[in-house]
Amino acid sequence: MLQKIKKKISSDKNFKELLSGSSITFVLKILGMLFSYLVLKLISKDFGAEGVGIYGLSNKILRSIGLICALGFNISVLRYVGEYSSNKDKSSYLQAIFKYFNQLALPISLIVAVFIYTYSDYIATYVFENSDYTTALKIIAFTLPFFTLNLINVEFIRGLKLLKVSEFLRSISIYLVMLIVLFFSLLNSGLLNPIYALALGVFITFLISVIFIYTHLKKLGNKKEKISLKRTSFVKTSMPMMVISISSFVLAFSGVFFLETFSSTKHVGIYNICVMLAQLVSLALTVVNTISAPKFSELYWNNRKKELKKVIRQSSKLIFWSSLFVSIVLLVNSEMVLTYFGEEFLLGQTVLIILIFGQIINATTGSVGVFLNMTGNQKALRNIILTTALFVVVGYYFIIPVYGMVGAALVSVSGTIILNVCSAVYVYSKLKYVTFYIPFLKFRYNE
């Protein structure tokens, strides 16, 4: 039996690549998540739920603004690298892509950073009504350009299928630096210790990514062939992806911002822990997406539709069963995992259960968002996700003041269901592909 399975895997090049890449990425992703939870544990131990809240919100601010400044290039660069990876002038294309994307994103991130630094006191006082965020916002301003460019660099490396390096930089590097700084108490800035550690982690990760990319491109050669790529085409392709990226972030994390405004920093900390724990359910989805995105692009744009359908079906099954197992483990042990961070975090047990349900739905629909982005259907995904994000923001505004953390979780899950079901239906009805997996049911388009 085992020999038969092994033979089947060996004979399927794409599935073998998916499994081997997934196993490596899975280990790195798990290690990265472990480091992130240890960081939260250290913060909660020293500063309680309030400290976790300040760190969590500051981290979300950096990530959300970084996604805006990246202009969607962190997604489209993956498609372009995958699309031109088989071109005979590969070296020239890769050098041009890397150069153009960074030159476009850097000025935007610098302008936004100056704005945040200048108005940090106003934002902290009148938006969050907490002066502790004044210095935190200034730190974020200094960190923003490095974070934005690193988003693009990591995806560029991922597009090259150098998954070990890209996943190390994405999931491990920043948290590893933070762990060292916080564990050895290398800073003495109170509640702002985690923010300074975050900034240092981002800067070091950025340096590593730049050095690696320049070294790799140098190995490919220094050809200077003139190529036909235009910056306008990059921007045209990337803008819908920017809307998608920002809207995705709004769906995942905007509840934290509304909780800070309508509730308390303590509840922000508890909710942030619940969100991170629930994301364990979709770990398999995240891991498979890391491998499948460049594979989707390669197969689709080279018109290998039959192979593409097979890869989608295989990845969807892998995602579903892995996610179901993790969700059951989390549900059974929800009280234990929350009290690991402190007794006060047990207040979020109901929130965690609700969020886990949302992540199960997310996993069931498979790599639908990645598929749409990598196959040139980013505008359709943009329309779906933007509409969903608007629904979620309005929902947060009206629900959180009344129901607090539980309300935030319910709105978040509602948005997840709307987004994933609508996207999967679109792919199924318009493009004739099946990204979702429901046990014991078969769909003819992927057969």
Here the tokens at position 389 are: 């994000």
Per-residue pLDDT at 221 = 66
Quote the DSSP letter at residue 341.
S
pLDDT (tens digit per residue) in 136-178? 999 999 999 999 999 999 988 887 878 788 889 998 999 999 9
- More confident of the two residues 399 and 250: 399
pLDDT bin (cut points 50, 70, 90) of residue 440 is low
pTM for the whole thing?
Answer: 0.72
Q: Read off the pLDDT of each residue in 348-357 and give the average, rounded to a whole number.
A: 94
- More confident of the two residues 202 and 127: 202
The percent of residues in the chain predicted with pLDDT above 90, rounded, is 30
Q: Nearest to residue 281, comparing CAs of 241, 337, 340, 348? A: 337
- More confident of the two residues 250 and 411: 411
Element at 169 (helix H, strand E): none
For the cut 70, the answer to whether the pLDDT of residue 12 exceeds it is no
Quote the DSSP letter at residue 222.
-
Alpha-carbon 143 to chain mean position: 18
The mean predicted confidence, pLDDT, of the chain is: 82
Here the tokens at position 447 are: 């057969």
DSSP per residue over 186-237, as a string?
----GGGHHHHHHHHHHHHHHHHHHHHHHHHHHHH----------HHHHHHH
- Determine contact, residues 169/209, Cβ cutoff 8 Å: yes
